[in-house]
Amino acid sequence: NSFDGGVFYSIWGTGLQGNYFYTNEILFGGDIISTTESYKSSGTYISAEGEITLNTYEGYARYYFRGLELTDGFFGQGGFAIRSWKANIDGIEKSTGSKIGSIKVEWSPYVLVTGLGWHKIWENGVSFSSSINGVWGGKMEIDYEENLYQFDNNLKTELEKYDYPLNLVLYVGYSF
């Protein structure tokens, strides 16, 4: 079988993946992720609402370590991702409805992606893989607009954790 296609779930979102087996050891592939999530939180005096959008297009090559008997489906992967990742959250004072501040987050649009994983194709054509990928060269920019409210350092430290430098991917597809 020369081709493999299916769906996957990852930390970055759910998407579609397509692969071409160039040789038994080399695979070329790509995937698309598009997800938008709403955010709402409410406290006694302040509410927060916004939207997070993650659109990713990734191309990669895999090398399968077929020569090692125990690790037939084990692979190393390297590629390039184009991302359009944005988050906008507004803080609203409940009693007046006034916007007291906002947070805008944007991630680097171009990053290198490398990783390790395992891929199995059964005789009936069903295909499964799992991998962990790391991002190289990406950074996250956070813009705080503080109108009537000052964001505390704890919140700022928490937000910086959402850089998503690692991505766990679980894939199910069909080989044809």
SS3 49: strand
Distance in angstroms (rounded) separating the CA atoms of residues 72 and 66: 5
Tokens of 169: 């991917």
Q: How confident is the model at residue 149 (pLDDT cuts 50, 70, 90)?
A: confident
Distance in angstroms (rounded) separating the CA atoms of residues 31 and 173: 13
Residue 163 in this model has a pLDDT that exceeds 90: no
Average pLDDT over residues 146-173: 87
pTM: 0.84
Q: What DSSP letter does each residue of 112-127 carry, written as one string?
A: EEEEEEEEEE-TTSEE
Higher pLDDT, 52 or 69: 52
Give the residue carrying structure tokens 């997070």. Answer: 52
Average pLDDT over residues 67-76: 83
